[in-house]
């Protein structure tokens, strides 16, 4: 058999197909990556699992049990102590009120500001955006004194509304940029059509444009709800004179004493404060992902 006949027989349809090692490697590579990343994922979630486990342990077992995850003696006394003695029931209601107020204030301010900045003919638009971006790099604690004095002059000190105003202000930059990018991507013909139908600027914004921004609204609401729920510094400053208005983050201090610390009660309190965040995320995760994807595209 000549060389030409050998080549033809190898490339003919009847020739046996050799396994493509390259394709097999491409199919196997994601599985190897998964095996490589699983230990890191377990390492990442281990502290959370340990916290949940410690909430069901006794104080002595938690201190002597080391890093074990399964309690030898299950108990719910830690949750009862956190809910009643440490007043986590009241702190949960305060945190919910505080977080909702922050979300409402943030949505109102950032959506209107983002709509105004989406206008290409706005005078000083680049300067305003530059100033907003610069403020993102200023630590929140550096501006707490003038913010406290302003809210004190408004008579809102030692109250959740004052704390919500102080919390919402520094967190406006990212939501404003998200709304600005979204509104800039909406065709101007839509606004002009609403104007021809007799709608003014305010009605066009509230009735036509804002309903289209539901993914961004969901993203901003979820982000700010989580941030405000976990906030510590601002609620601490604005509830120093009103301990009954403390949020969950500040209320964690009630487990620390001068001579001892209630670690199991602290773990139970952390579990209680985590449950609402998980529930909210489960309801809004799809909206959150769509909003982030839309913001990145815009």
Q: What is the pLDDT of residue 3?
A: 47
Please report the beta strands in the chain, taking only residues with DSSP state E, as ranges in sequence order.
none
Residue 10 has pLDDT above 70, yes or no: no
Q: What is the mean pLDDT of residues 215-236?
A: 88
- For residues 226 and 292, the answer to whether their CB atoms sit within 8 Å is no
Question: DSSP character for 257?
Answer: -
Q: What is the pLDDT of residue 15?
A: 52
Q: What is the DSSP track for 81-130?
A: IIIIIT-HHHHHHHHHHHHHHHHHHHHHHHHHHHHHHT-TT-TTHHHHHH
User: Residue 105: which pLDDT band, with cuts at 50, 70 and 90?
Assistant: very high
At residue 59, what are phi and psi to the nearest 5 degrees? -60, -45
User: Residue 254: which pLDDT band, with cuts at 50, 70 and 90?
Assistant: confident
SS3 state at 261: strand
Question: DSSP character for 256?
Answer: B
Buried b (16+ CB within 10 A) or exposed e, 154-165: eebbebbebbbb
pLDDT in tens, 154-166: 888 878 888 999 9
**Stretch(es) of the chain classified as CATH 1.10.3720.10:** 89-295
Q: What is the pLDDT of residue 12?
A: 52
Q: What is the pLDDT of residue 101?
A: 94
What Rg, from alpha-carbon coordinates, does the chain have?
A: 28
Q: What is the mean pLDDT of residues 199-205?
A: 83
Range with the lowest mean pLDDT among 29-33, 104-108, 109-113, 148-152?
29-33
pLDDT in tens, 19-66: 566 677 777 788 888 888 888 888 888 888 988 998 998 888 888 877
- For residues 229 and 95, the answer to whether their CB atoms sit within 8 Å is yes
d(C-alpha 188, C-alpha 184), whole Å: 9
d(C-alpha 151, C-alpha 69), whole Å: 46
d(C-alpha 250, C-alpha 240), whole Å: 10
pLDDT averaged over every residue in the chain: 83
Q: CATH class for domain 89-295?
A: mainly alpha
Q: Please tell me which residue, 291 or 121, carries the higher pLDDT value.
A: 121
């Amino acid at each position: 058999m000549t060389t030409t006949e050998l080549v033809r027989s190898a490339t003919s349809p009847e020739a046996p197909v050799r396994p493509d090692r390259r394709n097999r490697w491409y199919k196997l590579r994601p599985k190897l990556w998964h095996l490589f990343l699983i230990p890191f994922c377990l390492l990442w979630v281990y502290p959370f699992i340990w916290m949940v486990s410690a909430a069901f342990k006794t104080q002595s077992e938690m201190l002597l049990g080391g890093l074990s995850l399964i309690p030898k003696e299950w108990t719910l006394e830690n949750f009862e102590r956190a809910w009643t003695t440490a007043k986590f029931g009241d702190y949960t209601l305060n945190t919910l009120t505080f977080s909702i107020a922050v979300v409402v204030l943030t949505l109102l301010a950032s959506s209107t500001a983002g709509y105004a900045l989406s206008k290409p003919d706005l005078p000083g638009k680049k300067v305003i955006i530059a100033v907003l971006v610069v403020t993102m790099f200023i630590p929140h604690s550096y501006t707490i004194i003038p913010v406290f004095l302003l809210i004190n002059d408004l008579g809102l000190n030692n109250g959740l509304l004052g704390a919500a105003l102080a919390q919402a202000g520094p967190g406006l930059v990212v939501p404003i940029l998200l709304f600005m990018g979204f509104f800039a991507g909406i065709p101007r013909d839509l606004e002009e059509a609403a104007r021809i139908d007799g709608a003014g600027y305010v009605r066009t914004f509230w009735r036509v444009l804002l309903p289209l921004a539901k993914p961004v609204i969901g993203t901003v609401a979820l982000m700010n709800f989580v941030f405000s729920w976990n906030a510590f510094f601002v609620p601490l400053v604005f509830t120093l004179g009103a301990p009954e208005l403390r949020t969950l983050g500040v209320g964690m201090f009630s487990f620390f004493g001068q001579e001892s610390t209630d670690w199991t009660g602290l773990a139970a309190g952390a579990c209680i404060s985590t449950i609402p965040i998980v529930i909210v995320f489960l309801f809004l995760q799809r909206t959150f992902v769509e909003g982030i994807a839309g913001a990145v595209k815009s």
